[in-house]
Structure 1
């Protein structure tokens, strides 16, 4: 399987390079006609709350930038938009970006980690057996988490990029389990599925924010302003858990009935993952692809915009 994955990735990168370059040029031309400073790609996850908050309450404007936030439910579509520079900064799993940066030196860099929760959602038809058919995205945080925490099971991995489709397949009994980001996990639980919270002992969440190379090189002031607004949102969200949950419900189009059940992480000011944490993820990627990953920590991470807390 690892050789198949590796071969597919290489073939895809080669065959799509001309198309991507063409789309990139078109996106750059269209971008010249807009007054937006940053196009931001986010996922349907609690990680997105500080960005939603900064957008909702004018914190980006206070920091001096204009931001457009785009929600993706499919990480592959978001990655394609990032490669073609249709977005400037986006949320992705660390393992996904390690592979992207290994294959493309112009893929950009991590400027901060985010804070998320990834429960396991279980079908009511699951019989409790050791063998589990589980819905994941192949090269993603969900696959990484499954290998990290579900070591007591024999995993029959079903690779499904769309988060809503994983929920549908659970409801139909076509999957036993799926790894879902919160609050999508709570939304699934409200439809009759079981939600199991994994107690992650690690200090960092496996999701990160990535700026493209052109923005990092040419718009450092804008990058700094984005992080300023992000930090202002984190500070403003303290003690406002109900408002944060309500904002997630609104922005993600979820049922308001699940609001009180959404599990929120502890939100941190901008910070980057440690070298040790990145090394653990790199080792997992090497096992997944059966190849050596040569990209270094300093090539993956930019520390210029972190505040820490």
Structure 2
């Protein structure tokens, strides 16, 4: 890897360090304030980046707390969304330069003429959890209700998981829920049989006695990715490079420190609790990597078959190597 360091700051003066950036959508996003008291000169580059409450955000949040973004000369306004719908709306409305997204959601951006490119793979997984004691495997899920957000990576994962038992998502009853917290609550309250969530909601569900029916990385389904707008790639490539150097330094920090060192970030920003601390499974964090062509081809093929994506495309047209040039 050619990238090295990374850094992030919520504000560049003492007066701004306690400010939370305002809402972008109806279901509000939160700009991250990690409480860093480091005093740096003002970076020259600026980016806004949308995250979700999932494990792929951790290196970014660590880079924020440790001041890695500002070390690299970039101010990053991190906006944490509870719903992919709100994240995508913020991106469409020009409020974000980049996002933590997935290849299926990305295909909807491009289908709707959004000028966005995938810039790297990201780390994370999805879990299919059942709250019905009579549904303990995928075959038994047939005809039951499942809560997820259509035309996003969880939908793709569900189809691929059901394919292993000669079924599809069409063999299930669909219950839409954009908000990840809402999905786990629907299962816990017996309003649906199953749902699809990332950690920490997977750990919360398992702690509460839910049964895991499938996990995306066990099926080699890895659709998570980071994306930036073409405008940002063209006009602020140095900001993107600085973002990734900071991200990689966040990975270094995670690899070289105990969980106790950064668990407070997970509690504050991603909804983790002390009760699930011992049961959480983290992915193996690695430096940012280019988009995997096979993963993208398979995801876009699924999106095309579902009628989500109808454009002609090439790998080069959908991706950018700006972070690795």
Quick one: distance in 1 between partners of 2:221 and 2:133?
33
Counterpart position of 2:9: none
Q: Is residue 122 of structure 1 aligned with residue 130 of structure 2?
A: yes
State the match for 2:288 in structure 1: 270
Q: Is the CA contact (8 Å cut-off) linking 1:101 and 1:295 kept in structure 2?
A: no
Aligned pair count?
273
What is the aligned counterpart of 2:112 among 103, 112, 115? Answer: 103
Instruction: State the partner residue of 1:64.
Output: 73
CA contact 1:113–1:208 (8 Å) conserved in 2: yes
For the 8 Å contact 1:270–1:306, the answer to whether it is kept is no
- Return 5+ residue gaps in structure 1 as ranges: 1-22, 24-34
Correspondence for 1:142:
154
Task: Indicate how the Cα distance of structure 1 residues 203 and 144 shifts in structure 2: closer, same or farther if over 3 A, else same.
Answer: closer
State the alpha-carbon separation in 1 of the partners of residues 219 and 135 from structure 2. 30
CA contact (8 A) 1:42 1:91 kept: yes
**1:99 Cα deviation after fit:** 2.2
User: CA 1:145/1:203 → structure 2, altered by over 3 Å: closer, same or farther?
Assistant: closer
- In structure 2, do the counterparts of structure 1 residues 66 and 182 end up closer, same or farther at CA, with 3 Å as the change threshold? same
- How far, CA to CA, are the matches of 1:140 and 1:126 in structure 2? 28
Alignment of 1:98-247 (within 5 A): 98-104=107-113, 106-128=114-136, 129=140, 130-151=142-163, 152=165, 153=167, 154-196=171-213, 198=215, 200=217, 205-240=222-257, 242=259, 243-247=261-265
Over the residues paired in the alignment, what is the CA RMSD in angstroms?
2.3
Q: Are the counterparts in 1 of residues 216 and 222 from structure 2 also a CA contact under 8 Å?
A: no
1:302: Cα distance to partner?
Answer: 0.5
Under a length normalisation based on structure 2, what TM-score does the superposition of the two structures give?
A: 0.77
Structure 2 regions of 5+ residues with no counterpart? 1-23, 25-43
Alignment partner of 1:260: what SS?
A: coil
Of 283, 305, 309 in structure 1, the residue corresponding to residue 301 of structure 2 is 283
Q: Give, in angstroms, the shift of residue 125 of structure 1.
A: 4.9
Give how far 1:85 is off.
1.3
CA 1:113/1:291 → structure 2, altered by over 3 Å: closer, same or farther? Answer: closer
Any conservation in 1 of the 2:119–2:320 contact (CA below 8 Å)? yes
Name the residue aligned to 1:10. none
1:84-114 CA-partner distances (Å, limit 9, x unpaired): 111111111111102211321x422111111
When residues 55 and 291 of structure 1 are mapped into structure 2, their CA distance, relative to the original with a 3 A threshold, is closer
Q: How does 1:49-60 map to 2 (within 5 A)?
A: 49-60=58-69
CA contact (8 A) 2:73 2:242 kept: yes
1:48 to 31, 38, 57: 57
CA distance in 2, matches of 1:204, 1:95: 12
User: Larger % of helix: which?
Assistant: 1
